[in-house]
Structure 1
Amino acid sequence: MKRKQYVMILALIMSLLLIATGCSSGKDAATQDNGNGGTTAADNSKSNGNKTLVFGRGADSVQLDPSKVTDGESMYVTNQIYDTLVRYKQENTEVKPALATDWQTSDDGKVWTFHLRKAVKFHDGTDFNADAVVYNFKRWTKSADFVYYGYMFGASKDNMKGIISDVEAADDYTVKFTLSEPNAPFLQTLAMPPFGIASPTAIKKYGDNYFKHPVGTGPFIFDSWVKDDKITLHKNKEYFGQVADVDKVIFRVIPDNSARFMELQAGTIDVMDGLNPEDMQKVTDDSNLKIVSRPSMNVAYMAMNTSKKGPMSNKKVRQAINMAIDKKKLMSLYQGIGKEAKNPMPPSLWGYNDDVKDYSYNVEEAKKLLAEAGYGDGFTMNLYTMTNPRPYMPQPKLTAEAIQQMLKDVNIKVNIVENDWDTHLAKTEDGEHDAALMGWTGDNGDPDNFLYVLLDKDNAKKGSAGNIAFYKNDQVHDLLKKGQITMDQNDRTEIYKQVQEIVHNDAPWVPIAYTTPPMAVNKKVMDYVPHPTGSEPFNYIKLK
């Protein structure tokens, strides 16, 4: 009897503690105070008739200012909150109107004029207009923190504007961009989530903390953010486009793939990414679940830090490492959702060079190259990897361990360094690694977005590197810059094919895989169309 009373008392104490913890956790949430109200009801409650979509994912967003991030977890959320001047269609990277209704370009490709949608409000009630567009673009030229602006428009500390010489409001609803040179992917680039237009009023109000208080014009409005737990949004009833069927969206962080899948099976989440390949059959066998696959527009790779003195700066060493890694064995970790990669861009993109002959798996030839490079006795290297699953690499830890074992056969000792996703990004962008596992999901359907962002010397800047191999080849740079100003796609194709040949020979990467990432979804979720760029707005989704 005493035991039972003790248990009852203990249970009561634990319940009170949980209630207290639940109340106090809101203090750590980045909650927007813009008159829209927060969410206080239980996340999964349907008692009030609201339709709530719970999205389970492996890592949290880094921040919610889209212009300052490169990670897909952040963009998944910001894609709901912000609109860009133009957007991609639901199923592909063809551009359609968004905040701009139509546009024209000059004959020389240097002047672009956009006519803006009228009567659109930011979530804080302020007006969207040409001045707001100008404010955002000028803001992005003021700091290297706006990394995507640098990636896509060639900005540097010596030229913070990059190729955009000027942006001006011709009238309240007309914006004119003047470029220093033609830019073939310019329109495609403007549709990318990092160029979502934010409320100037909110940016000024929150200052350095704006990344926790995002205010856009998009189909969903930010409510709250409890770091490493959840982000909550509610629908924008005044949205100019298709108003969402879903009333509330919750992004939940569940780092372990298996734990996330169990929650999907239990019905506590509705959609999950990072599905373990071995769980795909379980989804198929479950009458309440279904698989939807994201179209392939990605690459997984191991970057070797060519800027470090020692083995990684030697081309023969990098070629030897390519030969020492058995990609067929690595594909067993993908269980049918991946195919071996040989180029730094996927075959789903135009400009892919299928004539490139991949390095064959050959341990003896690898040893020979290492000896020629002066490393016949081997060496030790640090391989950085993320703990969180990624669409292009569902099992990063096992991938790192497999590479560790393979390189052991050529006398290379690999120390694996694991970090959570945002730490991994920070450390690799700063060049701490000897080698690092990484990947990329294309942003705009243009080869420039892979080759220039990931392999050009312009983007090998410590602290913000997209090119984490820190690979610098002047011939590649000149070709990539030529590709940006060449307007004919056939001519651009030949340029990018040549770049892939050079990169293959220099071997700054071991390209690993191209994937078709599976997502598991509750069957009550209707009209969910995963986009090839890695994220999609949720206002088209319907819930039964």
Structure 2
Amino acid sequence: MTDDRSVRDGGTLTVALNSDPDKLDPTLAQTLVGRTVFAGMCEKLYDIDEDGTVVPQLAASLPDTSADGRTVTFRVRPGAKFSDGTALDAEAVVTSLLRHRDLPGSARGTELAPVRKAEATGPLTVRLTLDHAYVPLTGVLADRAGMVMSPTALKKYGKNFTNHPSCVGPFRFVERVGGDRIVLKKDPNYYDADRVHLDGVVYKPIPDGNVRLANLRSGDLQVGDQMAPVDVRSALTEPKLQLFNSPSLGYQGIGLNVGNVKGLGEQPGKIDTPIARDVRVREAFELAIDRELLNKVVFQGMYEPACGPISPQSAIAPGIRPQDCPRRDVDRAKELLEEAGVRTPVKIELKTSTTPEQGRVGQVLQAMVKEAGFELSLRPTEYATMLAETDAGDYDVFTSGWSGRLDPDGNVSNFLKTAGAMNAYGLGDPEIDKLIAEGRSVADPARRTEIYDRLTRRVQDAHALIYLYRQKNYVVAGKDVAGLHVYGDGLIRVKNAGYTR
């Protein structure tokens, strides 16, 4: 959704986020709120437009791919500079791509693993040599793996780049005060600076939606990101506020620790808990959940129940057989626990973020699964801390979500591939790995649809990542704010934003 009313130059926009972003390093970052901040300061080789079409951003055109799909060439936008004044060129792009692929702990490693070689074949020309045809590549480069960082800043700061990020973007990083604010200012080096109207943008983490809404009403905030349905309904009655919304490409659910004993990127191990030992216990846990009721009670029916990784907005979604989510069946859940030979109640701890909305999700799940023989305790945890703990395998179950990508591989491979860069569940299944590899290398849409249909059902049978619902992207802003763009990826694009004349 876009708002293209004309705006005046000047002013600072304050955007409220529902949590504090993790590292401001595109190689290491994992959160949607972090991507929202990156949207203001770190452009990518490609982006998506309002229709979900991939378009060039720091690349000058869409890539050229060889007949066998293993050589990809693209040109880099001429005349662009990083916020520290370093010129953008092919060598800078190669430096970032290889860092994304190879840096220990990189969250981009799985996405770029098929890239065998990246080289600058001219001042503005990049050639990638792939191990095999890799259909999702352009979509991958339209996200954090396509963000290009100043090689000067990378050399100077190394892993401390997160505290001194320098990219190409409409705004440059100024400061971060943990838990309070991230401050950006208009970047005079930006190649399209004449179309940037604001003097700066401030991002403030405010987990409580009621507090975000109160600050929007008072004018202390101008934009509220990821607003909860209950707050959206209230905002609709406010004459000074406006609503932006778009369907989500992602999903929300719960992740179960079935084999994460050594952290991300490591091979699965054995965990001596009922949910890790026996898939029947995990199936029973899922059968105790009523997705429709969860949506009604927590989200006022404004989200969509879901039980698979692929959004209806995905290009291949129409070809996938309808994903009939399992209906709640408490009797069958009890039978499965009896068949598994576990003592009831089965004690499990659920980690959630500290937002009131996620607290309600936890409480509803707690009540539902109790009837089937589970004793679910809740541990609200600050979001960045929860990510660190779940990445390390320090959990039983946690609320797991993803903002989503257009290509289905972007919703699958990082999380479900054995030792994937974001596989916090410790899931290891050779059949899933095989289907992921096939989905990446097959270009024919009908065959890809069949592959992801099979993959979805295989993942459902593992019950390691239980998909529960799909959000809508709700953004509330003051009516005197224009030029915002909110697309299916959930990001607030502030490049053209400003205050009305």
Cross-structure match for 1:17: none
Question: Structure 2 CA distance, aligned partners of 1:219 and 1:233?
Answer: 9
| DSSP-derived class of the 1:471 partner | coil
Residue 223 of structure 2 is matched in structure 1 by: 271
Aligned to 1:373: 340
Equivalent residue, structure 2, for 1:487 = 443
Q: Distance in 1 between matches of 2:95 and 2:282?
A: 45
1:516 maps to amino acid: K
RMSD (CA atoms):
1.8
Shift of 1:182: 0.7
Please tell me the residue identity of whatever aligns with 1:259: V
Aligned position for 1:16: none
Q: CA deviation at 1:238?
A: 4.1
Structure 2 counterpart of 1:330, one-letter code: L
Q: Which amino acid in 1 is paired with 2:388?
A: A
Worse overlay, 499-508 or 351-360: 351-360
For the structure 1 residues 214 and 254, does the alpha-carbon distance in structure 2 shift closer, same or farther, using more than 3 Å as the test? same
CA distance in 1, matches of 2:437, 2:215: 47
Match for residue 114 of structure 1 among 64, 74, 86: 74
Match in the other structure for 2:388: 426
Correspondence for 2:470? 514
User: Which segment is superposed worse, 72-81 or 421-430?
Assistant: 72-81
For residues 173-212 of structure 1, the aligned pairs below 5 Å read: 173-212=124-163
Q: Deviations over 1:293-351 (max 9, x none)?
A: 13221211111212222311311111111111122221120113211112132222234
Moved more, 348-357 or 122-131: 348-357
SS at match of 1:147: coil
Q: 1:338 aligns with which of 295, 298, 303?
A: 303
Judge conservation of contact 1:258–1:276 (CA < 8 Å) in 2.
Answer: no
CA distance in 1, matches of 2:305, 2:98: 42
* Contact 1:344 1:450 (C-alpha < 8 Å) held by counterparts: yes
Q: Secondary structure at the match of 1:381?
A: strand
Cα pair distance change 1:61/1:287, threshold 3 Å: same
Q: Which amino acid aligns with 1:349?
A: S
Q: Name the residue aligned to 1:321.
A: 285
**Equivalent position SS for 1:487:** coil
Distance of 2:257 and 2:401 partners within structure 1:
15
Segments of 5+ residues of structure 2 without an aligned counterpart are 1-7, 260-270
* 1:477 correspondence with 2:433: yes
Q: Deviations over 1:233-276 (max 9, x none)?
A: 11224422363122211111222211111000000100002423
Does the aligned pair in 2 maintain the 1:223–1:232 contact within 8 Å?
yes
CA contact (8 A) 1:101 1:117 kept: yes
Aligned residue for 2:236, secondary structure, equals helix
Q: Distance in 2 between matches of 1:538 and 1:247?
A: 11
Matched residue SS, 1:333: helix
Partner deviation per Cα, 1:176-199 (whole Å, 9 max, x = no partner): 111111100111111113431111
- 2:259 is equivalent to residue 294 of structure 1: no
Closer, same or farther: CA 276–171 of 1 in aligned 2, 3 Å: closer
Percent identical: 28
Decide whether aligned partners of structure 1 residues 336 and 527 sit closer, same or farther in structure 2, where only a CA change above 3 A counts.
farther
In the aligned structure 1, how far is the partner of 2:37 from the partner of 2:456?
33
Larger Rg: 1
Match of 2:30 in 1: 70
- What's the CA shift for 1:510? 2.5
Name which of 273, 278, 282 aligns with 1:310.
273
Match of residue 3 from structure 1: none
Structure 1 residue 49, shift from structure 2 partner: 7.8
Moved more, 350-359 or 184-193: 350-359
**Is this contact kept in 2: 1:69–1:194, CA < 8 A?**
no
2:48 alignment partner in structure 1:
88
1:533 to 474, 489, 496: 489
Question: How far apart are the structure 2 equivalents of 1:92 and 1:144?
Answer: 35
**Closer, same or farther in 2 for the Cα pair 1:336/1:246, shift >3 Å?**
farther
Instruction: Name the CA shift for 1:515/1:49 in 2 (closer, same or farther; >3 Å).
Output: closer
SS in 2 for 1:355: coil
TM-score (norm 1): 0.84
For the 8 Å contact 1:183–1:485, the answer to whether it is kept is yes
